[in-house]
Amino acid sequence: MKKIKFIYILLFSSIFFIGCKTYDNFTTYFNTYYNADRLIDESENEFEFQDEKKRVFPKVFISQPNYWIQPDTKKSPVVFMDEFVIDKRQLQPVKIKLDSVIIKGSKILAKHPNSNYVENTLYLMAKSYFYQSDWINCQVKCSELIDKFPYGDLIPDAHLMIAKTYLIRKKTITGLTILSRCVDVAWLKKRYDILSEAFRLEAEVALRDGRFDDALKPYLQAVAQSDDEEQRAKWQVDLAALLYRIGRYDKALIAFEQVRNFSPDYSGLFESKFYSALSQIRLGNYEIGMETLSELENDGKFEDWKDYVTAGRLLNYKLSNDDKKFQETEKFADSAFSNSYMIQAIYFEIAMMHYDKKEYVDAQKYLAQVRNARSDFYTTANKLYQNLVAYSQKKNEASKGLQKYSANQDLNDSLRLVVSNDAYEFARINEILGNQDSAIVYYKYAMDIAPIDSNTRARYVYTYQRVIRDTNPLLADSLFEQIADLYPKTEFGKEAYKKLGYTEFFAIDTIPELYKSANQMRRNGLYQQSINAYKEIYDKYHSSPYSPKSLYSIGLVYEENLKILDSAIFYYTLLKIEYPDNELVKDINTSLVYQDIIKKGEQIPDSLLPMKVYKTPKRDYLSEIESGNAIERANHFDKQQHFNTKKKSTLEQYWDNLKDQYNPMDKIDSLKSKIKDTKVKDLLPGVKINTPIDKFRSKSDSDSTKIPTLAPVEALPISPNKENENKK
């Protein structure tokens, strides 16, 4: 009986659980997931190029070996990844839809975390982020999918998407590593579509780096391992296409013919025959190639692809130099197949032929026809077109000024700056286009024409020495020294000093800025940062006059701002040891003595105690001067204001104050005559006055000691006395 009850309970629990799971999946799908999936489909249909790629038509392959190789593989962008990036124009109509996918996906993850649609939801959210070029969040969602569903059906898709984001972000090594994992899981899941895409990306990276054999390996392995004849035919087409693209037409011809040994579909069969014909044409077998093209044109199965046949004939007439038939076929193609992807690819190849021959006008003509089409060669075509347009403009601008210069016409400095800049810009365009000899000539023009006292010339000299360094290193070094001598304050002068090893210049130019920056940080309360900056000056520029200032400033920061006296004493002591003759040592001696007395526990002498200030009422200083009591007052005034007696004596400063306030020249002259006739020792007995005026000093004063301690008074500004003025 107990067993029966247990079975019933288990049965009802299972039914209840299954029912709840089914209900959860039902509500998740119809309430949220369905709409998110629909929005992604609608967004993808809006992307013109993405939608175009979904069409079933023969693949377009371009044979341009130099086009696929990029010289600086570490820094240059991965050009072929541009096709996956949705630009702002395409994104704008669907931005709201993609944002809605993120919102709906977040609801599913929050409210239905146990439904069967979590894996698909994560993938939809990753796609939404991908289309919006939010690579980091895309990687996060793909990583969540891989962590939560390591054996899920979308594991290959997630790996492929992560790999694409890394390649787009130019993190090639990481992207290739994830692509390798993607290949493994795609083989496991038998996802041949993912495998083909992964192989293509690996091949594109290898082509970019010039590793042609490495580009072929994935396809060779795939064709050998696969047991699907139709899929093997597709991979064989891709393998042959790689050989065709890198210019190995004899091997490509054999590889395309081997496609028919498998089970290709209509598209694959057409591709094998069509590119076999193009390979024959590129090998110079024009008649054989034209015969194959005619067969394809007369075959009813390929009725929709006649634009490919026309493109093949264009290539044949161009390579065989049959200009008349080429022009006739070109007119027909422009009218009948104006939007043909294959026709545009042939035009791009023809443009590159003219470009390699330096026939820029013809190259620009064909690039203008293809640069507006979204294609694999769009980025390169658009960039080359812009460079050629700039070449024409800069050539015209430079030629006008150079004609005047060559005719020995007198050019003022302003006109020289314009002409030299035009020559420099034209040289730069030539260097971009690969015309190294022309670039050197016009860089030299820019250097020679620019006024020698213009800092702009530093750029021209620097660039000219760069382009001739391999062929004439001695002249390049000489120009480098010229930059350092004539333009030391420019960025090129600094670079020249670096390479020439003149570090003293940088100390002169850099230390004041660094010290000023440290002071500014201290004023802003960034005490630790200011200390670090001061230490950098002391460590790197030990012989600079700013080095003792830096040690002194560090001590001040610790003493006044951070209240860490031990550290302050340490840097003060270091200053005293390192720079014993520096004037700053005198300022810190009192602090060092004071701290030493504190540590020993001794009584602080009166001379080190803070001075008290007593306020007194206003007094008639002019009357006191006449009565001879002003000397004592001047002494207190000097101590209160901390006048620098090395620059001016107390009496001289007092006179200056009187001049500013009264300007009574007759009284001042009278005062000077009285003091002149009076001995200094009678006025201030036992006081040594440091003054630059020889008449105030006598030999008997040389043994004078310190100023006696007097009761300090507050220094008050001297104000005019109307009664005294009336008396005067």
Of 67, 84, 263, 269, nearest in space to 163 by CA: 84
Structure tokens at 393: 């403009």
Whether residue 251 is predicted with pLDDT greater than 90 in this model: the reply is yes
Classified as helix, coil or strand, 513 is helix
* pLDDT score, position 594: 57
CA 114 to chain centre: 44
On whether the 410-501 domain is CATH 1.25.40.10, my answer is yes
Whether residue 662 is predicted with pLDDT greater than 50 in this model: the reply is no
Whether residue 460 is predicted with pLDDT greater than 90 in this model: the reply is yes
Report the pLDDT averaged over residues 176-181: 93
Task: Answer with the residue of higher pLDDT: 16 or 469.
Answer: 469
pLDDT in tens, 430-452: 998 889 999 999 999 999 999 98
Task: Answer with the residue of higher pLDDT: 675 or 369.
Answer: 369
On whether the 504-608 domain is CATH 1.25.40.10, my answer is yes
* pLDDT score, position 690: 44
Report the pLDDT averaged over residues 255-272: 92
Task: Answer with the residue of higher pLDDT: 715 or 170.
Answer: 170
The CATH architecture assigned to 211-406 reads Alpha Horseshoe (1.25)
Q: How confident is the model at residue 687 (pLDDT cuts 50, 70, 90)?
A: very low
Supply the mean pLDDT for the chain: 76
CA 391/CA 394 separation, integer angstroms: 5
* pLDDT score, position 338: 82
CA 16/CA 722 separation, integer angstroms: 109
Whether residue 424 is predicted with pLDDT greater than 90 in this model: the reply is yes
Whether residue 139 is predicted with pLDDT greater than 90 in this model: the reply is yes
Least confident of 18-27, 70-79, 542-551: 70-79
Kindly report the length of the chain: 728
CA 309/CA 549 separation, integer angstroms: 82
* pLDDT score, position 644: 43
Structure tokens at 319: 């390579």
Q: How confident is the model at residue 4 (pLDDT cuts 50, 70, 90)?
A: low
Q: Tell me where in the chain the CATH 1.25.40.10 domain(s) lie.
A: 410-501, 504-608
Whether residue 397 is predicted with pLDDT greater than 70 in this model: the reply is yes
CA 547/CA 298 separation, integer angstroms: 89
Whether residue 140 is predicted with pLDDT greater than 70 in this model: the reply is yes
Structure tokens at 444: 């030299």
pLDDT in tens, 566-606: 888 888 888 888 888 888 877 776 666 656 655 555 555 55
Instruction: Show Cβ contacts of residue 95 under 8 Å, excluding neighbours closer than 6 positions.
Output: 132
